[in-house]
Structure 1
Amino acid sequence: MVTMPADDFSRDLAKFVSNCRYEDLPAEAVEAAKKSILDLLGVSLAASGTVPAVRGVMEFVRDHGGKPQCSVLGFGDRAPPIMAAFANGAMAHCLDFDDMAPDGNHASSTLIPAVFAAAEYQGGLSGQDLITAVAIGQDIFLRMRRSLKQRLDWLVTTVLGVFSATAGVSYVLRLREDQVANAFGIASLGSCGTLEMRFGTGSDLGELYAGFVAKSAVMSGMLAKNGVTGTQRVFEGQAGIMKVYFGGEYDRTKILDGLGTRFKGASMQYKPWPVCGIANTYIHAILKLVREHDLKADDIQEIRPFVGDFQQRMSYPLEERRRPTGSMDARFSLPFCVAVAATYGRVGVEHFTEQGLQDQAVLAMAQKVVPVDDSKFDWTAEMPDARVEIDTRRGLTIIGTGKGTPGSNDFPLEWTDLVRKFTSCAALAAQPKSSAAISDAAGMVRSLEQVTDATKIIRLLS
Structure 2
Amino acid sequence: MAFPTTDIVHHLAACAAETRYEDLPSEAAEAAKKSILDTLGVILAASGTEPAVRGVIDLVREGGGRPEASVLAFGGKVPAMAAAFANGAMAHCLDYDDQTPWGQHCSSSIVPAVFAVAEREGGVPGADLIAAVAAGQDLFARLRRNVGWRKDWNLSTVLGVFAATAAAGRVLGLPGERLADALGIASMQSSGVMEVVAGTGSDLRAMYAGFSARGAVTAALLAQKGITGVPDLFEGEHGVFRTYFGGTYDREAILGELGTDYQGGGTLYKPWPAVGTAHSHIHATIGLMADHGLATDDIDEIRVHVGDYHDLMCRPLDARRAPSTLVDAKFSLPFLVAVAAVRRTVRVSDFLPEALRDTEVLDVVRRVVPVPDKSLDWTMELPPGRVELRLRSGRVMTRTGINVPGSTEAPLTWDDLTRKFEDCVAVAMTAPSVRQARMTVRLVRDLDTSDDATEIVRVLAAGQRDATTGH
Scaled by the length of structure 1, what TM-score is found?
0.98
Q: Secondary structure at the match of 2:276?
A: coil
Distance 1:281 1:420 in 2: 22
Aligned to 1:196: 195
Aligned to 2:124: 125
Q: CA deviation at 1:361?
A: 1.5
Identical aligned pairs, as a percentage? Answer: 52
Distance 1:219 1:65 in 2: 17
Cα deviation digits, residues 259-280 of structure 1 (max 9, x gap): 1000100100000100000111
Aligned to 1:42: 41
Q: CA deviation at 1:156?
A: 0.4
Q: CA deviation at 1:75?
A: 1.2
Following superposition of structure 1 onto structure 2, how do residues 372-451 of structure 1 map, counting pairs within 5 Å? 372-451=371-450
Aligned to 1:221: 220
Distance 1:77 1:55 in 2: 14
Distance 1:325 1:125 in 2: 43
Q: Secondary structure at the match of 1:388?
A: strand
Distance 1:186 1:461 in 2: 32
Cα deviation digits, residues 166-195 of structure 1 (max 9, x gap): 000000001122111110110000000011
Q: CA deviation at 1:341?
A: 0.6
Distance 1:450 1:341 in 2: 41
Q: Secondary structure at the match of 1:180?
A: helix
**Residue 173 (structure 2) pairs with residue 174 (structure 1):** yes
Answer whether contact 1:65 1:83 (CA < 8 A) is retained: no
Q: CA deviation at 1:384?
A: 2.2
Q: Secondary structure at the match of 1:23?
A: helix
Aligned to 2:469: none
Distance 1:164 1:440 in 2: 28
Following superposition of structure 1 onto structure 2, how do residues 279-298 of structure 1 map, counting pairs within 5 Å? 279-298=278-297
Answer whether contact 2:88 2:210 (CA < 8 A) is retained: yes
Q: CA deviation at 1:298?
A: 1.0
Distance 2:400 2:73 in 1: 38
Distance 2:227 2:448 in 1: 33
**Residue 457 (structure 2) pairs with residue 461 (structure 1):** no
Following superposition of structure 1 onto structure 2, how do residues 249-288 of structure 1 map, counting pairs within 5 Å? 249-288=248-287
Following superposition of structure 1 onto structure 2, how do residues 106-145 of structure 1 map, counting pairs within 5 Å? 106-145=105-144
Q: CA deviation at 1:68?
A: 1.2
In the alignment, residue 335 of structure 1 is paired with which amino acid? P
Q: Secondary structure at the match of 1:442?
A: helix
Counting matched residue pairs gives: 458
**Residue 255 (structure 2) pairs with residue 248 (structure 1):** no
Q: Which moved further from structure 2: 11-20 or 202-211?
A: 11-20
Q: CA deviation at 1:149?
A: 3.1
Distance 1:279 1:352 in 2: 15
Aligned to 2:328: 329
Q: CA deviation at 1:364?
A: 1.3
Answer whether contact 2:150 2:245 (CA < 8 A) is retained: no
**Residue 344 (structure 2) pairs with residue 356 (structure 1):** no
Distance 1:242 1:210 in 2: 21
Q: Which moved further from structure 2: 294-303 or 213-222?
A: 294-303
Following superposition of structure 1 onto structure 2, how do residues 314-325 of structure 1 map, counting pairs within 5 Å? 314-325=313-324
In the alignment, residue 328 of structure 1 is paired with which amino acid? V
Q: CA deviation at 1:231?
A: 1.8
Answer whether contact 1:198 1:206 (CA < 8 A) is retained: yes
Distance 2:446 2:173 in 1: 23
Q: Secondary structure at the match of 2:301?
A: strand
Q: Secondary structure at the match of 1:370?
A: strand
In the alignment, residue 48 of structure 1 is paired with which amino acid? S
Aligned to 2:27: 28
Q: Which moved further from structure 2: 414-423 or 377-386?
A: 377-386
Q: CA deviation at 1:65?
A: 2.0
Distance 1:59 1:124 in 2: 29
In the alignment, residue 261 of structure 1 is paired with which amino acid? T
Distance 2:279 2:421 in 1: 18
Q: Which moved further from structure 2: 316-325 or 205-214?
A: 316-325
Following superposition of structure 1 onto structure 2, how do residues 95-106 of structure 1 map, counting pairs within 5 Å? 95-106=94-105
Answer whether contact 2:282 2:336 (CA < 8 A) is retained: yes
Q: Secondary structure at the match of 2:412?
A: coil
Answer whether contact 2:147 2:241 (CA < 8 A) is retained: no
Answer whether contact 2:48 2:428 (CA < 8 A) is retained: yes
Distance 1:324 1:413 in 2: 29
Answer whether contact 2:43 2:72 (CA < 8 A) is retained: yes
Any gaps of 5 or more consecutive residues in structure 2?
A: 462-471
Distance 2:173 2:147 in 1: 30
Relative to structure 1, the CA distance from residue 286 to residue 166 in structure 2 (aligned partners, 3 Å threshold; closer, same or farther) is same
Q: Which moved further from structure 2: 332-341 or 16-25?
A: 16-25
In the alignment, residue 66 of structure 2 is paired with which amino acid? K
Answer whether contact 2:89 2:208 (CA < 8 A) is retained: yes
Q: Secondary structure at the match of 2:398?
A: strand
Q: CA deviation at 1:356?
A: 1.6
Aligned to 2:7: 8
Distance 2:303 2:76 in 1: 47
Q: Secondary structure at the match of 1:301?
A: strand
Q: Which moved further from structure 2: 275-284 or 349-358?
A: 349-358
Answer whether contact 1:144 1:254 (CA < 8 A) is retained: no
Aligned to 1:61: 60
Cα deviation digits, residues 376-416 of structure 1 (max 9, x gap): 10111111222110011122111122112100001000000
Q: CA deviation at 1:459?
A: 2.1
Distance 1:330 1:425 in 2: 18
In the alignment, residue 379 of structure 2 is paired with which amino acid? T
Any gaps of 5 or more consecutive residues in structure 1?
A: none
Q: Secondary structure at the match of 2:368?
A: coil
Answer whether contact 2:303 2:369 (CA < 8 A) is retained: yes
Answer whether contact 1:158 1:209 (CA < 8 A) is retained: yes
Q: CA deviation at 1:6?
A: 5.3
Q: CA deviation at 1:253?
A: 1.4
Q: Which moved further from structure 2: 162-171 or 383-392?
A: 383-392
In the alignment, residue 322 of structure 1 is paired with which amino acid? R
In the alignment, residue 401 of structure 1 is paired with which amino acid? T
Q: Secondary structure at the match of 1:188?
A: helix
Distance 1:349 1:31 in 2: 25
Q: Secondary structure at the match of 2:387?
A: strand
Q: CA deviation at 1:200?
A: 0.7
In the alignment, residue 36 of structure 2 is paired with which amino acid? I
Answer whether contact 2:149 2:245 (CA < 8 A) is retained: no
Answer whether contact 2:98 2:270 (CA < 8 A) is retained: yes
